[in-house]
Amino acid sequence: MTAATSLAAPPVPAVGEAAPDFELVNQFGEPVRLSAFRGQNVVLVFYPFAFSGICTGELCEIRDNLAVFEDARATVLAVSVDSKFSLRAYAEKEAYGFDLLADFWPHGAVASAYGVFDPESGMARRGTFIIDADGKVRYVVVNPRGQARELAEYRDVLAGLERA
């Protein structure tokens, strides 16, 4: 294996594939395992950094519309490469009612498994994966740096899962 291939990130999981399982700690240091949510939908939101402008705007929009996710029996898990300590301060400041997960060490390992880790900047890209109750990826979006994601897309996908 060459150095170039050893640094290549895994591809982004495709719609219909099993979501890679992981366990990370939340802002309180509690372990959160993706497979523990089987039987319900999960909205997995990767974002670059706590306290940054676009990230805060996106997560506050989710916070302010949490009923959309709850109505679809969906749990929101937001993941960044920040430590649990910064995530706790961030969650308290913004009054987030969902888990912020620390992909801090090994740095960006879960973001890498989902193909959204940017090794040049050391952060996760803006990737969202909606995972159904069986653990299958049903929606994927990865936005370029500086471009926020649309909440309306989440609503549409979640509404489709309710009918399925």
Confidence of residue 34 (pLDDT cuts 50, 70, 90): very high
CATH superfamily, region 38-163: Glutaredoxin (3.40.30.10)
- pLDDT of res. 6: 45
Per-residue pLDDT reduced to its tens digit, 42-65: 999 999 999 999 999 999 999 999
CA distances from 35 to 19, 24, 92, 132 (A): 9, 12, 26, 11
Catalytic residues, which ones? Answer: 55
Confidence of residue 31 (pLDDT cuts 50, 70, 90): very high
- Domain locations in the chain as residue ranges: 38-163
Per-residue pLDDT reduced to its tens digit, 98-153: 999 999 999 999 999 999 999 999 999 999 999 999 999 999 999 988 899 989 99
Per-residue pLDDT reduced to its tens digit, 71-101: 999 999 999 999 999 999 999 999 999 999 9
> Does 27 score more than 60 pLDDT?
yes
In sequence order, which ranges of 36-108 are alpha helices (DSSP H)?
53-64, 66-71, 84-94
- pLDDT of res. 92: 98
Residue 148's nearest CA partner among 77, 87, 62 is 62
- pLDDT of res. 146: 87
Q: Extract the tokens encoding 102.
A: 């620390």
> Does 4 score more than 50 pLDDT?
no
